[in-house]
Amino acid sequence: MYKFFAFLNRMKYIKRWSLMRSVREENIMEHSQQVAVIAHALALLNNKIFGGSVDVNSVVLLAQYHEVGEVITGDLPTPIKYFNPEIKSAYKDLEKGASERLLNMLPETLKGEYERYILPDENSEEYKLVKCADRLAAYLKCVEEVKAGNSEFKKAKTSIGNELKALKRPEVDYYLKEFAPAYDLSLDELD
């Protein structure tokens, strides 16, 4: 009857980082879960340490659904997606159309509940934290790949690290200082 949830299940089959050879493949479902965990931490840091007032639950749900359109469009690598303004705009329109298509698979009684997470207000503080979490996830993927000996991710690690610092977001800076170094540790060192 409604295919929305079956489409969401496809997220586990769509690979990320398709232009770069990865030591460990990652799919969109795994990526979305990692972004949700990071976004949750950023929202808590924002509220508890830096005096913010974001809706933590909304941040987590926005993160969980932030790539949902890619179950239809697939993942377009970042260097292509942002190559020029025309491609960026066209891809954004394509993603929006895919997200709208997914929303239309839901019954009317549920559509409104999902719409705010699948077609979010991009000016909201909650959405901005999810974008930060998405970049942090990309940075941490680079850290893990470089740690595993994959030098293809060195330049991206430096570039994304610089982008994150340039954001001048206190919760992102805190995450980078306090949490990110653990991603360079072995399991024995984490114990």
Q: What is the CATH number of the domain that holds 124?
A: 1.10.3210.10
Residues 6+ apart with CB under 8 A from 24: 144, 145, 148
> pLDDT (tens digit, 9 = 90+) per residue, 54-89?
999 999 999 999 999 888 777 666 666 666 888 778
The answer to whether 163 touches 135, Cβ cutoff 8 Å, is yes
Does the structure show a pLDDT above 70 at 19? no
Does the structure show a pLDDT above 90 at 17? no
Residues 6+ apart with CB under 8 A from 15: 25, 26, 27, 28, 75
Tell me which residue has tokens 């799919």. 27
pTM: 0.87
Question: Mean of the pLDDT values across residues 3-32?
Answer: 69
Q: Pick the more confident residue, 12 or 124.
A: 124
Question: Mean of the pLDDT values across residues 129-137?
Answer: 97
> What was the pLDDT predicted at 177?
97
CA angle 48-50-54, nearest 5°? 65
* Structure tokens belonging to residue 88: 């960026």
Q: Which domain holds residue 115?
A: 4-190
> pLDDT (tens digit, 9 = 90+) per residue, 141-180?
999 999 989 888 899 899 999 999 999 999 999 999 999 9
Confidence of residue 42 (pLDDT cuts 50, 70, 90): very high
Q: Pick the more confident residue, 189 or 78.
A: 189
Arithmetic mean of pLDDT over the chain: 87
> What was the pLDDT predicted at 92?
82
> What was the pLDDT predicted at 27?
84
How many independent structural domains does the chain possess? 1
